[in-house]
Structure 1
Amino acid sequence: MRHQDTGEAGEAGWMPRVPPATETRQGPALVALATAQFVVVLSTSIVNVALPAVSGGLGLSAGALSWVVNAYVLAFGALLLPGGRFADLFGRLRMFVAGTTVFALASLAAGLAPNAAALIAARAAQGVGAALLAPAALALVLLIFPPGPVPGGGAGMTRGAALGVWGAVSGAGGAAGVILGGVLTEWYGWRAVYLVVVPLAAASLGATLLLVPADRPTGGGLDLVGAITSTAGLTAVVYALTARQPLAAAAGLVLLAAFADRQRRARTPLVPPRLLRTGRVAAANLAMTLLGAVWVGLFYFLPLYQQQVLGYSALAAGLTQLPLALTVVAASTLAPRLPGRAGLAAALTALTLGLGWLALARTDGTFAVDLLGPSVLVGAGLGVAFVRLTTLATDGVPAADSGLAGGLVNTTRQIGGALGLALLTAAAPAAADYRTAFAATAVIAVLTTAAVLTTLSSPTHHTRRNRS
């Protein structure tokens, strides 16, 4: 039976089919989908500890080395909005399967890359696959766990709890990537950090196909002009920041302005204006953009500081980030139980203090004095902030737009990461400039806190749509 939408569900007029708890084993399905999210985030951070080894093995310059990270982050972020829309239009499960397949094959290609150009191209292809699978996975979670109390008053998991697990897995993926990257690089070489992703992605794909029923696509159209202008504009801006090309920056800004204008006029816009008027979607995504810059910048510069300044091995660099990883997981798990805006502001304050502490780290620093304390503060801040902002960015969104909302929040995090890394590597091009890099991330964290306190200061009106 179809489920009719009673509100702003989009042009199709029908809600996607929501698998009931009796049809979908919610817990195992969440594990399968969260594994995909873990692998996507893992692939952002797992390469960071291996960067010195990659540079030595393939002869990359400092500028080219940053593109090993940015090719993935940029392709991922720039294509997430079309990816989220594809999920809504053609089916979340279908796009999840397509994206995970591309992602796994690209990971294999990266692990076998014979030169720098092939590696960077494979990383970009990984980003394309991630852009298809990530919003589809989050949209499937939102469909499997509808808002409100557990139906029938049972002991199942609520949507808030499911998003808490999702945030914990996302945070763990970022932190665990550094640890796993260190172990694999030390024992098996840098190629292993890409090859390990292949069986993980395959396992998530197989389990999801077994556990998650196919959803009904919403139909409708795709704003192809909007997809092209947004992707080209974001790519041009990030390239301009990385290569210091003012003409590319100007072209990128013009394209992004054209994209914004297009969204107001298009019949089927890539980012419907109604979505940004829903709940706190716009404010949460603004904050997520800034937080993404902090996240990617931290996990890029911290391993470089550990290895190139403190002289740690890849394995030691990974293992000494275990407190950071565990704190991120613990904080993400606790985040749904914390007060909303106050808890988020406290988390961002802890993040800022931790980054400021790192900015004071010495060239002859020790783990106990210079890394342990900041790691705990930063991990607590990131864990809570990611969960709270993801919840705010998807709260109150009609089910027909769930894929788009998932794509948008992932887009802002990844694009924030790409822009942040481009700015930070321009400001601190060498590992010796680590103090500048950490201080800059602390400033961005301050801006994130200010954005939260101003744009989320007053509860905005939510319209809870009837999803039955």
Structure 2
Amino acid sequence: MSTAPPEVAATTGSSEAPSRGVSPGVALAVLAGAQLMIVLDATIVNIALPDIRGALGFSEASLTWVMNAYTLTFGGLLLLGGRLGDLLGRRKMFIWGLLVFTLASLLGGFAQNEATLLAARALQGVGGAFTAPAVLSLVTTTFKEGAERNKALGVYAAVSGMGAAVGLLAGGFLTEYANWRWVMFVNVPIGIGLALAIPRVFPADKIAEAGRGLGRFDIPGAITSTVGVSALVYGFIRAAEESWSDSVTLVAFVLAAVFIALFIAIELRTRQPLLPLRLFLNKTRTGGYLVMMLAGAGMMSTFFFLTLFMQNEELLDLSPVLAGTAYLPLTVGVITSAQVTSRLITTRGPRPFLIVGPLVAGAGLLWLSFLETDSNYWSGILPGVVLMGFGMGAVFVSIMTTATAGIAAEDAGIGSAVLNVTQQIGGTIGLAVLATISTSAFESDLDEQVDKVGQPTASVVAHASAAGWTTAILASSIMLFASALIAFALVRIRREDVRVDPSAVTH
């Protein structure tokens, strides 16, 4: 029997034995490859944006939608994608999600105008929303709880954590040495290869064989959740582009509040909810979701501001390739930390790492917030990036272990989707809030500098830009420190709880 308290024991077991007959190494490689493709696509386009603008005639305002179109559909459809995996089969949704993503990448690579590329990016988001929950839920149902699953989660977390940095590096190389279109085309052979490998690696879904299907699907919940989350994501995107008092921004937030309230009311009444609210009854799991939201907001937004700092002509003036390469130490830190954490969690439990990880990553962001116009890479950026990497690895492994430990098999897809939703919404909210902070700090510093020198020269603007970006990074560090406090207050999971005997589970 499990030594977990009743509340934890009810949610930290697994009601379905992991799939056997699957080669663990090959299965993990397929899952990691798919996750890397999904994660890096959020940043691989970043460095190619100037070339895309020149080739397709984007305006400054519309260019942001190359990123936002993906974020909006990805975030808005994650819950739907997760539950469809539970009902129709995760392997099936994994394959179809990859095929949609691959087709969208091919269309985007051949895009000849603004509308086609934006439509392709939105379709990529749809494919990602169906693929991402399937990947994480297959990790939780393919690998046995304990050391085997912790190792798999360590690889998954390392890929998730380093994906943004790898995207920046790959985007830099592809843009500089090939063509911006290859940031889209690169997904095509990978997606096709993975889709062909999945039926050979993973057995047919037991849930699908048991006769579960769309007859039990919560259609009202699907509609209200998709509209509500999409409106929320759009509201933050609009706030970053225009202002928090913009009428369209306010309407989006009102719609989000109304539809999310309707969604909760529906989920409380329906017999087969899209999002079983029992997932949030456990404080530990809820704490993990909150940490993911804040950590995602702080860390992922920092990539945006730090990349701008490194490529500014008056500051470090790094080329796209060098700017991407500058993140390699972060990648090494994430991989190392994730692997060490995944081994230690088995004996020490995830809670210490869920507290220490954000503190280490926050310390790295705090270091970066002191960057100045004459800072160099080796003493100004490298130490902060290394600390950020080590912290991120620990954060992602411990969060995923905490939030997915023992989720009942029928809820694995939606539980994974909630984790992805919190990260996605956290990143969107974080960037919108921090962009506002950055703009305010930029304008304040620019006014101060102009008062001193009399005119906004290039060096004056660069000084103000640096002030804005580093102020935003400082706010990011505060988010990380706050997530450590939340983990300390809410997370009570022990090492025994991540290896609970499945027979001890109650529903």
TM-score of the superposed pair, with normalisation by structure 2: 0.82
Structure 2 residue aligned with 1:152: none
Structure 2 residue aligned with 1:209: 199
| Inter-partner Cα distance in structure 1 for 2:173 and 2:237 | 30
Structure 1 residue aligned with 2:318: 312
Give the superposition deviation at 1:460. Answer: 12
| Inter-partner Cα distance in structure 2 for 1:115 and 1:195 | 16
Q: Pick which of 165-174 and 348-357 moved more.
A: 165-174
The one-letter code of the counterpart of 1:100 is L
The one-letter code of the counterpart of 1:296 is M
Give the superposition deviation at 1:424. Answer: 2.5
Give the superposition deviation at 1:8. Answer: 8.0
Candidates 229, 235, 252, aligned match of 1:248: 252
Q: Does 1:365 align with 2:375?
A: yes
SS at match of 1:217: helix
Please tell me whether the aligned partners of residues 175 and 182 of structure 2 are also in contact (alpha carbons under 8 angstroms). yes
Give the superposition deviation at 1:279. Answer: 7.4
Candidates 283, 286, 291, aligned match of 1:282: 286
Q: Does 1:398 align with 2:408?
A: yes
Please tell me whether the aligned partners of residues 150 and 343 of structure 2 are also in contact (alpha carbons under 8 angstroms). no
Give the superposition deviation at 1:419. Answer: 1.9
Instruction: Give per-residue Cα distances to partners, 1:433-462, cap 9 Å, x unaligned.
Output: 312321221122122122211111576996
Q: Pick which of 159-168 and 138-147 moved more.
A: 138-147
The one-letter code of the counterpart of 2:336 is A
Structure 2 residue aligned with 1:450: 485
Q: Percent identity?
A: 39
Give the superposition deviation at 1:276. Answer: 2.3
The one-letter code of the counterpart of 1:230 is S
Output aligned runs, 1:189-208, within 5 Å: 189-208=179-198
The one-letter code of the counterpart of 1:67 is W
Q: Which has the larger radius of gyration?
A: 2
Q: Does 1:384 align with 2:394?
A: yes
| Inter-partner Cα distance in structure 2 for 1:365 and 1:198 | 40
Instruction: Give per-residue Cα distances to partners, 1:363-417, cap 9 Å, x unaligned.
Output: 2321112210110011111111011101111012111211121111112111211
Q: Does 1:19 align with 2:19?
A: yes
| Inter-partner Cα distance in structure 2 for 1:8 and 1:131 | 28
Please tell me whether the aligned partners of residues 162 and 330 of structure 2 are also in contact (alpha carbons under 8 angstroms). no
| Inter-partner Cα distance in structure 1 for 2:152 and 2:206 | 22
Q: Does 1:96 align with 2:91?
A: no
Going from structure 1 to structure 2, the CA distance change for 1:166 and 1:451 (only over 3 Å counts) comes to same
Please tell me whether the aligned partners of residues 221 and 273 of structure 2 are also in contact (alpha carbons under 8 angstroms). yes
Structure 2 residue aligned with 1:466: 503
| Inter-partner Cα distance in structure 2 for 1:408 and 1:461 | 24
| Inter-partner Cα distance in structure 1 for 2:342 and 2:477 | 25
Structure 2 residue aligned with 1:153: none
Candidates 221, 229, 232, aligned match of 1:234: 229
Going from structure 1 to structure 2, the CA distance change for 1:179 and 1:75 (only over 3 Å counts) comes to same
Give the superposition deviation at 1:254. Answer: 1.9
SS at match of 1:364: coil
Instruction: Give per-residue Cα distances to partners, 1:62-109, cap 9 Å, x unaligned.
Output: 543333223222322221111111111011111111000001111112
Kindly report the root-mean-square deviation, in angstroms, between the aligned alpha carbons of the 2 structures.
2.5
Q: Pick which of 26-35 and 53-62 moved more.
A: 53-62
Structure 2 residue aligned with 1:138: 136
Structure 2 residue aligned with 1:127: 125
Structure 2 residue aligned with 1:167: 157
Instruction: Give per-residue Cα distances to partners, 1:191-245, cap 9 Å, x unaligned.
Output: 2111111112222222222211111225152222222222212222232233232
Structure 2 residue aligned with 1:180: 170
The one-letter code of the counterpart of 1:443 is I
Going from structure 1 to structure 2, the CA distance change for 1:230 and 1:458 (only over 3 Å counts) comes to same
* Ranges in structure 2 where 5+ consecutive residues have no aligned partner: 1-8, 240-248, 443-464
Going from structure 1 to structure 2, the CA distance change for 1:383 and 1:59 (only over 3 Å counts) comes to farther
